[in-house]
Amino acid sequence: MQFAKRLLMGLNAALLLAVFLNVVAPKAVHAVVATLVQVANTSANPVPTLEEEAQSGFMVSGTCTFGGTDISAQLCGVDSIYAVPAGRTAVLESFSGLCSTDSGTALIEFDLALTAPGGTSVMQRIPPVSATPYNSTITQEAALNLKSYAYGGVSGSPISFTGFANADQDARAGCGFTMTGHLE
């Protein structure tokens, strides 16, 4: 009991001294505390940081269906899967897509329509890499790591997706896709 009483008195005295020093000499106390928690950025002990790319990253996904009686029966598209903000450049890093088409037909390509730096319209073509028959459909897919740039311009600009088939498709046929990147 005597030991606990002395321990509490000692702790109270240390706390009272710390409060007194903080009131009397706050700059000195803060300087001592700052040196105790100073972070050193050395090659052996680097400070973890987050790249600006990671802070402005984006991932967008979308779906569409084929259908119609004219050329649109061969197209599956989304007009604006991502809007590049005004004055910024989107760096497209990866694309993956999967389309299900009617049996006996093929997907020609996946296209990303965008505005390149300088204001010119560009079509980023991505050919399908595999085709797998399933019941009365064919599943075709593509995956690509890429480095493509889309410019937002003065008022922003959209990135659009289109899947092209080589023949008219049933309205049940469609595509799903994902695109990732970051803003600069």
pLDDT number for residue 11: 63
**Dihedral (C-alpha) 99, 103, 109, 111: value to the nearest 10 degrees?**
-40
Across 94-98, 130-134, 152-156, least confident range: 130-134
- The per-residue DSSP string of 44-102 comes to SSPPP---HHHHTEEEEEEEEE---SSGGGGEEEEEEEEEEPTT-EEEEEEEEEEEEEE
- The per-residue DSSP string of 22-43 comes to HHH-HHHHHHHHHHHSPPP--S
Does residue 52 surpass a pLDDT of 60?
Answer: no
Nearest CA among 29, 63, 43, 35 for reference residue 161:
63
Q: Does domain 52-183 have CATH number 2.60.40?
A: no
Does residue 15 surpass a pLDDT of 60?
Answer: no
Structure tokens belonging to residue 105? 């037909």
* pLDDT confidence tier of residue 33, bands split at 50, 70 and 90: low
pLDDT number for residue 73: 74
Does residue 23 surpass a pLDDT of 80?
Answer: no
Q: Where do runs of H (alpha helix) occur along 76-156?
A: none
Structure tokens belonging to residue 147? 């480095």
Across 37-51, 63-77, 168-182, least confident range: 37-51
Instruction: Give the separation between CA 51 and CA 68, rounded to whole angstroms.
Output: 46
Higher pLDDT, 90 or 75: 90
pLDDT number for residue 65: 85
Task: For the chain, give every domain's residue range.
Answer: 2-36, 52-183
